[in-house]
Every structure is written in C-alpha cells, then in structure tokens.
Amino acid sequence: MKANPAFSALLILVCVLPATSQQVWHYDLRPGDHLVYSYVVDRDVSSGEGQIHTKAIFNTHVLVLGENKGHLSVGFQRNRESVQLIEYREHGKDKLKQELPDFEQTMSKRPVRFEEANEFSITGEALTYWQAAREDRSKIMMAVHEIETLPSKAVNVGDKWQGHNLLGLEFHVAAPETISGKACIRVEGSRGEDRLTYWWCPAIGTIGKVEVDGTYSIYESTVHEKLSFELQDKKHNETAAEWLKSPDMQLGTMNALLVSRWVPIQPNLLDSALQSSDAQVQADALAVIYQRRLEWPDRDLVKLAQSSDAQVKRIAKEILDPVSPQPIPQVGKCTQPAHTYPAERPGTSLRFMRSEKYRGEPYMLHIPIDYRGNRPFPLLVYLSGGAGLAMDAVNTAEDVIAPSGYLVIYPQAGDFWWKPETVARFAALFEEVLQDLNVDRDRVYISGFSNGGTGSLYYATLWPQRFAAVVTMMGAGVCNSEIADQLANVANLPIQLIHGDQDPIIDPSCSQATFDAVRKLPPKLLPALHMLKGRGHEITLDGDDGLTLPFVADKLRTPWPAKITAKFADTTYPRQYWVELVAKKSGLATIEGQIKPDNTIELTTKNILRVRLLLRPEMFSSTSPIKVVLNKTEIYHRELEQDCALLQQSSAGSQDSSLGYTQALEFDVSP
C-alpha cells in the first residue's frame, strides 16, 4: 500500500535549501555557537460554525553542543513569550469575551518551554528522527526547523529542484535580498496551497529567515497557518555550563545531551540542572546520568527520589536501584532464549514501517527519556479519532504521555480502524514494535477516542490475549456490529468506557449499552463507565479528567485464563488465548472453553469444523495427564508434551514468549 497522501500533505513539510553558483553551501556552525530566533505562529481555524484566530510568539535558541567526525550535535529550545486569542466567532456572533477565560485557562496548563535535538551533517542533513510533538498543535510545524537540509550542489538564480520530502515541494532560487542588513538569497518552495520561503545568508553560514504558509483540514474545519522564524543574533564561544544555568536554554541543552551521548560531560556540569525548580529539567538531567551510566553522589539522588514529580522520582530510583539482569525465561523444562534490545532516541518521532507489504507506511512512536533497552517498559497503543491520523493522536496525548514512563504507539489509519486493510496493517506494526522494543508483554494497553475508541475495543475482541486493559473514549461499542458480534471475547479484560453525556456525534447510549452488555457476559472484572457531565465530543487522553492512565496502571495481562469464550466472524485472526480456529461453518463461530483443576479441558462449540488447542505447563494446576472433552465427549487423555523447539518457534511467531506453547492438539468437530 502506498503512503497515505493526506498524511503526507498534512504532516510532512520539509524543505531543501539552495546553494550559490560559486560553491556548495555549508552551515558555518561550531561547538559553542548560539543562534537566537524570533518565532511567530499565526493560526486561523474556520468552519461552518465559525472562526477562531490565535497568535503565539516564541523566542528560540539553537545551541551547538559538539562536533564529532563532521557531525554536529544541536539542541533547540522554543520558549513561548505570549499567546493571544484574537478572534472567536460562532454562527456569526462575536464570542471573544466569553471564550477568553477558557482559552487562558487551557493555555495555562500547557508548558511554555519546548525542546528537541538532532545531529546534522555540515549540509544540514538530519541524522536521526525529528521530534513530532512540537510547541503547538500544528500539522505542518513538525517538519519546519531552524536548520534545514542544503542541496548537494550549487544552484543559480532561477534554478529549480524537487525537495527531498514526502510532500514534494518544488523549490527555486528567487532573488538576492537583504535581511536585517545581511546579504541573503530568497528561495521559494510550493505545492498546492502550501508555500515555504526562506533566506539563506552565506556570510553568516545559516538561515536568516523562514516563512511558511499552509492550509489543511481537520475534522470539519479548515486550518490556515503562517509560521515565521527570523534570526536575531548569532553568538560564539559559549559553553553548555552557561546554557544549563538559563531556563531559556536548559531543556534544549539537556535534550542534545540525551540524543548525542558522545558529547563529553565535564564534572559538575549537571549540578545546576539537578537543582533546577523545573521538574522536567531535573528529569532530563537524571536521564542523562542514567543513560550514560554516570557515577553520581547518592545524596543528590536520594533527595530527588523523594520528589513530588512522578517522573523525577521514577528515574532517581532507577539510578539508585539498578535493574537486575532479567532471568532466562523458563517454561517447564524448556529454556527460552533471552533477547537484547538497543537504546532508542527519546521523544515522540515519525517512523516508517519496514515489513515488505507495508514498507514506508507512517506511524509515530514515543520513547521515554529513561528507556535504554535493558528492562521492559509498559506499552500504550493509542488510536486517533477522525480519519485516524497519528498526528491527531499525538496532539491529544503528548502533554500526558511525555512524563508517564510509557512506550506509546500512535498508528496511522486514514480510515475507520475496523476496515480489514487497516486492521492487517496494525497487526503488522504491532509485531514490528514488539520485535524492536523491550516491551512488558503483560502491560500492553489499548485506548483511543471516537473512531479510535471504537477501534480499541474492536482490536481487543480480535486479540484479547495481547492486552492487559482497554479504555475507550467516545467509542461506538456495541453500536458497531463487528464489536457486538464478538464482544464476549473481552470477558477477561478490564474495560473502562468514557463518554460525554452531551456528545452530538456518537450517542452516549452506545457506551451505556456496551457497559450493560459487558456486565452480562459475565466479565472477570466489572467494567467501569464514566459519563462526563456537560461534555460533548472532545474527550481525549489529555482531556479525560485523568481517568485513563490511573485505570490501566495496576492492570496485568492474564495470557492463559482458565475460562474463555471465543467468537469468530471469520478465520483471519483465528487465535483467542489458548484456542485456535482452524475451520468453521457459515455464520458466527463460537468456542467456549474451561480448564478445570483436574487438568480437564472442556470445550463446547458452535459452527466449528476443526479446532486447535495451544498448551503449555503453566495452564495446568498439576503435572497429571490432561484430558480433553469436546462437546461432552472425551477425545484425548495423555500427558502434556513439552516440545522446546515448538515453544521457541511459536514464541518467535507472536513476538511474545508468554503466547508460545509446547504442544498443539488439533481436533475435528463431529457434526
């Protein structure tokens, strides 16, 4: 499948900068250089219901921390100085005065300092992932930076070239122009309604100004954005120690130290950061110590381990009490191979799938700042509403997710999550992530809002053995026929439903009906239902009244429940816990299974032609022979086999050692 064009157009806006006719342009940046930009974000959102106009002003600091084999380590910190709600009209009426208090309250809860970092070649080519979540919830901002890639060869005025980006902006050198008294060259790029203009200034070896004018759709609204960066100053011979003492530069400096672990750290460099009043600065400093395995006085760490900030406390404790090597997995008489995982770049970044069928398909991934691959982390799968765009999910979760300590997958749908092709792509992505990251397989959670709220419960019906809990926000639940048919599959899962009682898009009665239906299953754990008073269709992870993460925090998966009900509409995803559908009749197929204390497996089936049991020692209470009773007829009575090769093969196939099995029994079902 080709990359979704809507995603490319809305999420990726990368420019390529020009060169002079005399020589190839290179950035003239050295360790200790410090660029200061003024930065304005002007946004107008219009729909059939009205118009909203906002303007935010930032100062940004670009900090060059080090150079290694021609590669530069650069930190960025963007500090919001002001934000204004300029216009708010609803159905032709001016509502600015009424809306200002809510706007100001919302903005007061958002951070005012934002950081990222990257490594660059001297031509500005980024050598690692860019941060997807930026200082504003924009769909073009994530790929617009103060440092952009320069072309590999010289160009003349009038020359055109295609940018190396998914949007495919075509650039041309427009004309020489003076910016703030500096001789520069204006370059223009465009595609459709999107425009990007920037000024390359050879005398100072950097970009003097960038302007972006872009339009995109979100839900039923059109967003028109204008972004501008303008260089104010270029300083030289400063130090990381100086930057770490300034709140305007601490986070950008720290982020570069996290991304570029080859940048040297002098003794006591982190002291000012550890003593900062900003908890995020403290957490970043602790993460640098943890990631680099630096020796640090316990007196500092003990104090921080008592912090009121959960992220600071968590990382300080990780340093004080290092994780012991994970024991080699043992299943009965079988020893499973241990896996090692590399460290990852922290933050939320745009990634692309690599499996053959879906190569190049986009998704986003959040890596906690203290993840280094040596211990398993919990994983949250978060599905977006609307068209299922990953960026929408990031924009409604990042403030909550960033300090949480969760790995997070933001998949990309571009459609309803229950469409067969979308489901298949998600299944491939999920296995890729499990293969790449040290995920705690017993702490994998799935959630989403609107379209994604429906999708999260649907995916739980397909793969209940994968998840430890489900939270659906504003989802359709049993109002979706695919979920209604297979709802019994989630009887062993903790489920929380959140809905606004004034939702005009998906009727809140759908969540109420789902709650009632789950209670009748009966479930292993009663579901939770929260009808939020006065709320419409705007509940997401960062606006769920703090319900989602506390709900999942203590939930652990049960991979081999003693009692299951498995319903199958088809054989596409045939496994439910320890039963697998091999062949079925027409109509909805059902398998009800129970493992009794005497090692008897009782199965009752409907519309089933052939079934397979996937067995391992932990499923049984003793080493006595197992007995299988199928539709009240005993068909098997023998000791459990422990085929270690089968265990290894089946564990690798699912990317989950707990879902591997030592014996598979297959039976025909008599008419």
CA distance 427 to 423: 6
Neighbouring residues of 268: CB distance < 8 A, sequence distance ≥ 6 = none
Q: Which residues pair with 115 in a beta bridge?
A: 77
Only one residue has tokens 């769920």, namely 544
Q: What is the pLDDT of residues 417-461, one digit of tens each?
A: 999 999 999 999 999 999 999 999 999 999 999 999 999 999 999
pLDDT at 166: 55
CA distance 577 to 601: 14
pLDDT higher than threshold 80 for residue 20: no
Spatial neighbors of 528 by CB under 8 A, at least 6 apart, are: 495, 496, 497, 551
Q: What is the dihedral of CA 556, 559, 563, 567, to 10 degrees?
A: 110
Give the mean model confidence (pLDDT) for residues 5-20.
35
DSSP H or E run through 446: strand 439-449
Q: What is the mean pLDDT of residues 184-200?
A: 89
Using CA atoms, how far apart are residues 640 and 500, in angstroms rounded to an integer? 50
The pLDDT assigned to 643 comes to: 96
> Using alpha carbons only, how large is the chain's radius of gyration in Å?
27
Q: How far apart are CA 64 and CA 30, in angstroms?
A: 6
Tell me which residue has tokens 């465009």.
Answer: 190
Tell me the average pLDDT of the chain. 92
Amino acid at 93: K
pLDDT of 173 over the 60 cut: yes
CA distances from 189 to 59, 160, 162, 198, 448 (A): 25, 9, 9, 9, 36
- Check: CB of residue 117 under 8 Å from CB of residue 66: no
**% of the chain residues with pLDDT over 70:** 96
Residue owning tokens 């200002």? 100
State the span(s) of the chain assigned CATH 2.30.230.
5-235
Q: Does residue 5 carry a pLDDT above 60? A: no
Q: The domain 330-552 is classified under which CATH number: 3.40.50.1820, 2.60.130.10, 3.20.20.80, 3.40.190.10?
A: 3.40.50.1820
> 474 or 47: whose pLDDT is higher?
474
Whole-number pLDDT of residue 11 = 36
Instruction: State pLDDT tens for residues 241-295.
Output: 999 999 999 999 999 999 999 999 988 899 999 999 999 999 999 999 999 999 9
Give the model's confidence band at 143: pLDDT under 50 very low, under 70 low, under 90 confident, else very high.
confident
The answer to whether residues 226 and 39 touch, using CB atoms and an 8 Å cutoff, is no
Overall residue count recorded for the chain in this entry: 671
Gap between the Cα atoms of 643 and 334, Å rounded? 8
Question: Residue 300: pLDDT above 80?
Answer: yes
Q: Which of 121, 73, 147 is nearest to 345 (CA)?
A: 73
Check pLDDT > 90 for residue 18.
Answer: no
pLDDT at site 164: 64
Provide the 3-class DSSP secondary structure of residue 80: strand
pLDDT of residue 559: 96
Task: Give start-end residues of each CATH 3.40.50.1820 domain in the chain.
Answer: 330-552
Q: Is the pLDDT score of 212 beyond 90?
A: yes
| 509 vs 267, residue with greater confidence | 509
The tokens for 202 are 């050879």
Amino acid identity of 198? Y
Q: Strand 34-47 and strand 50-68: pairing?
A: antiparallel
Closest by alpha carbon to 488, among 604, 336, 397? 604
Q: Where are the beta strands (DSSP E) in 121-181?
A: 160-162, 170-179
d(CA 45, CA 226) in angstroms, rounded, equals 12
When mean pLDDT is compared across 43-52, 83-92, 319-328, 623-632, the lowest value belongs to 319-328
- Whether 154 shows a pLDDT value over 90: the answer reads no
Q: What SS3 state is found at 362?
A: strand
What mean pLDDT do residues 375-386 have? 96
Residue 162 has pLDDT above 90, yes or no: no
What are the backbone dihedrals phi and psi of residue 591, each rounded to the nearest 5 degrees, phi first? -130, 125
Helices within 60-176 (DSSP H only): 96-109
Q: What is the pLDDT of residue 189?
A: 87
Taking residues 157-173, report their average pLDDT.
76
Determine the angle formed by the axes of helices 250-259 and 279-292, rounding to 10 degrees: 20
CA distances (Å), origin 321, targets 38, 303, 315, 318: 43, 14, 10, 5
d(CA 498, CA 506): 12
The pLDDT of 111-122, averaged and rounded, is: 94
Average pLDDT, integer, range 635-659 = 95
DSSP for 177-230?
Answer: EEETTEEEEEEEEEETTEEEEEEEETTTTEEEEEEEEEEEEETTEEEEEEEEEE
Is residue 75 very low, low, confident or very high in pLDDT (cuts 50, 70, 90)?
very high
Q: What is the pLDDT of residue 160?
A: 84
Task: Specify the range with the lowest mean pLDDT, choosing from 175-189, 485-499, 549-563.
Answer: 175-189
Round to whole Å and give the CA distance between 340 and 342.
7
Who contacts 69 (Cβ-Cβ below 8 Å, separation ≥6)? none
If you classify domain 5-235 with CATH, what class do you get? mainly beta
pLDDT at 21: 42
**pTM reported for the whole predicted model:** 0.92
pLDDT of residue 48: 86
What integer pLDDT is reported at residue 326 of this predicted model?
74
Distance, in Å, from the CA atom of 207 to the CA atom of 6, rounded to the nearest integer, reads 29
Segment 172-200 mean pLDDT? 89
